[in-house]
A and B are shown apart, each in its own frame.
Chain A
Amino acid sequence: MEVSRHWRLKKERYAMVGEVCPHCEQKIFPPRDICPDCGQEARTLFRFSGRGEVYSYTTVYSAPTGHEVNAPYTVALVRLEEGPMVTAQLTDLGEKQVEIGMPVEMVTRRLRAEGESGILVYGYKFRPQLSAS
């Protein structure tokens, strides 16, 4: 992926900044500028709380290029408190077993390194909620 694309995605990736529809209040993540609910333009920025729960998950043993160092890792569909569903890695699981419905919270982590000399890419992952871990 190019440096310019990482740069454009930074607010969305670092802090889960999405959008809210000014017409129907629908919260949108990732941002797409058009409300999936009412089809009207939606460009108002909205910072998600980062809290949600695991909707489903799978463990990746054979990781794609750039993610080998993290394998094995768990990828989950997370239902955010505000409604949208996002796909992201789970982290800081320790010995904890992942369960459907497990409360999780967003953390900003290193997603990958572009080789030995390229940029470091940071973005959201989810971990068991601190109070519940």
Chain B
Amino acid sequence: MTERDIEVLRPTREVGIVGYGAYVPRYRLPASEVARVWTQGQGGLPIREKAVPGLDEDVITMSIEAARNALARAGVDAGRLRAVWVGSESHPYAVKPTSTVVAEAIGATPHIQAADWEFACKAGTEALQAAIGFVGSGMADYAMSIGMDTAQGRPGDALEYTAGAGGAAFILGPAEAALAVFEASYSFTTDTPDFWRRADEKYPAHGERFTGEPAYFQHITAAATTLMKALDASPEDFTYAVFHQPNLKFPQRVAKSLGFKPEQIEPGLLVPVIGNTYAGSALIGLTAILDAAQPGDRILLVSYGSGAGSDAFSMRVTDLLPERREQAPRTQDYIARRTEIDYATYARYRGKLVLK
């Protein structure tokens, strides 16, 4: 099969985003603090700073706030949701769904599907694909998909500079009520061991240089080009694009190689100021774009999850967006709400100090 022959995903009825909400915790750890402790300040810094959750925050509490923001923008009663799906690699429980607590807290129980999704950094967009199917088939009118993480990096590991916290919630619904309507989507998946965490391990392991070319770049490039070919679209047809952001260099490089200009990815490129939010990364970038987009704008979203795969989505903004986005805090409002912490406070907040 050549790439041109591949069928992309289109639901039976048109589906769109009817509400979206972001969340970023208040605390920030500058990359220079990590460098001060581990490298005497030597070497380059991959980002400026990363968002760190407070002592009383986790993927459940952060998802609840993003979900409430999405409901406020959707103007839909929570009782009309038929699914609450949360993608993350830092679910607070190993066994007991994050999604049941979130669904209960937002008032969506009990006539609802609830499940936690896992696929490294694309668990959230995987749930988004599923919600398009759920709504697009007519099984549900509204479904919520969340990508949220409180990422862990082993102290001193390169990942500690970037492993951040944050994410976003999306309510999908019929196109008539949508702020942005999906044109088509596509997923590209292979078995690629670039990054993993074994069942009882606290910190992940990664394949060093193996994480780039055969992993991130191959999957994102394949997903993006296949979707664009099927839509007969090229990079200049999109107002904005957002790619998974494990660091600053990767999304900049993949955007350039695909033919996107820096200004197309800039509004959604949040990794320098919040870090890599894993399952939340591409999705929270999309919220920042929706905060700025105008009716008619076309947006390309491409996630990447280690293991490995990419989900690609193309959507068009409708006339409903400008008014409805005012119903909840903007992503930049959360980014501006900022308290800098030092490495010692970070170590305490992230449970790296053991009291007994």
7 A-B pairs with the lowest CB-CB distances in the bound complex, closest first: A94-B339, A14-B105, A109-B56, A110-B56, A108-B64, A92-B26, A109-B61
- Answer whether A11 and B93 are a contact pair too, CB < 8 Å, given A130-B329, A130-B337: no
Given B60, B61, B107, which contacts A15 in the complex, CB threshold below 8 Å?
B107
Tell me the dominant secondary structure on chain B's binding face: loop
> Contact between A130 and B333 (Cβ–Cβ < 8 Å)?
yes
What's the minimum C-beta distance from A114 to chain B, rounded to whole angstroms? 12
Complex-state Cα separation, A108 to B102, whole angstroms = 10
Residues of A89-133 contacting chain B, CB below 8 A: 89, 91-92, 94-95, 107-111, 120, 122, 125, 130-131, 133
Q: A: which residues have CB within 8 A of B?
A: 10-11, 14-15, 47, 68-70, 89, 91-92, 94-95, 107-111, 120, 122, 125, 130-131, 133
- What are 26 pairs between A and B in contact, CB < 8 Å? A14-B101, A14-B104, A15-B105, A15-B106, A47-B107, A70-B56, A89-B56, A91-B54, A92-B26, A92-B54, A94-B26, A107-B61, A108-B105, A109-B57, A110-B56, A110-B57, A110-B58, A110-B92, A120-B92, A120-B93, A122-B105, A125-B56, A130-B329, A130-B333, A131-B329, A133-B337
Chain B residue at minimal CB-CB distance from A110: B56
Complex-state Cα separation, A77 to B107, whole angstroms = 26
- Answer whether A122 and B61 are a contact pair too, CB < 8 Å, given A14-B104, A15-B105: yes
Q: Is B199 in the interface zone, CB < 8 Å from A?
A: no
Complex-state Cα separation, A13 to B45, whole angstroms = 42
Contacts of A69 in B (CB 8 A): 55, 355
Chain A residue at minimal CB-CB distance from B349: A69
Chain B residue at minimal CB-CB distance from A13: B105
Contacts of B106 in A (CB 8 A): 15
Chain B residue at minimal CB-CB distance from A14: B105
Instruction: Report which residue of A91, A107, A110 has the largest number of chain B beta carbons within 10 angstroms of its beta carbon.
Output: A110
- Answer whether A11 and B56 are a contact pair too, CB < 8 Å, given A92-B26, A120-B93, A130-B333: no
Contacts of B60 in A (CB 8 A): 110, 120, 122
> Contact between B56 and A111 (Cβ–Cβ < 8 Å)?
yes
What's the minimum C-beta distance from A73 to chain B, rounded to whole angstroms? 9
What's the minimum C-beta distance from B157 to chain A, rounded to whole angstroms? 24
Contacts of A120 in B (CB 8 A): 58, 60, 92-93
Q: Mark B106-125, 1 if CB is under 8 A from A, else 0.
A: 11000000000000000000
A sample of 19 more A-B contacts (CB under 8 A), given A89-B56, A125-B56, is A69-B55, A69-B355, A70-B55, A91-B56, A92-B26, A92-B54, A94-B26, A94-B27, A95-B339, A108-B64, A109-B61, A110-B57, A110-B60, A110-B61, A120-B92, A122-B61, A122-B101, A131-B329, A131-B333
What's the minimum C-beta distance from B299 to chain A, rounded to whole angstroms? 26
Complex-state Cα separation, A122 to B64, whole angstroms = 11
Complex-state Cα separation, A122 to B93, whole angstroms = 13
What's the minimum C-beta distance from A20 to chain B, rounded to whole angstroms? 16
Complex-state Cα separation, A69 to B352, whole angstroms = 12
> Contact between B65 and A108 (Cβ–Cβ < 8 Å)?
yes
Complex-state Cα separation, A95 to B338, whole angstroms = 10
What's the minimum C-beta distance from A109 to chain B, rounded to whole angstroms? 4
What's the minimum C-beta distance from A112 to chain B, rounded to whole angstroms? 9
Complex-state Cα separation, A125 to B56, whole angstroms = 10
Complex-state Cα separation, A111 to B101, whole angstroms = 14
Contacts of A109 in B (CB 8 A): 54, 56-57, 61
Complex-state Cα separation, A131 to B64, whole angstroms = 19
Contacts of A130 in B (CB 8 A): 329, 333-334, 337
Contacts of A68 in B (CB 8 A): 355
Complex-state Cα separation, A15 to B254, whole angstroms = 42
Residues of B267-307 contacting chain A, CB below 8 A: none
Complex-state Cα separation, A27 to B329, whole angstroms = 27
Instruction: Report which residue of B54, B56, B104, B105 has the largest number of chain A beta carbons within 10 angstroms of its beta carbon.
Output: B56
Instruction: Report which residue of B93, B329, B337 has the largest number of chain A beta carbons within 10 angstroms of its beta carbon.
Output: B337
Residues of B303-340 contacting chain A, CB below 8 A: 329, 333-334, 337, 339
What's the minimum C-beta distance from B158 to chain A, rounded to whole angstroms? 28
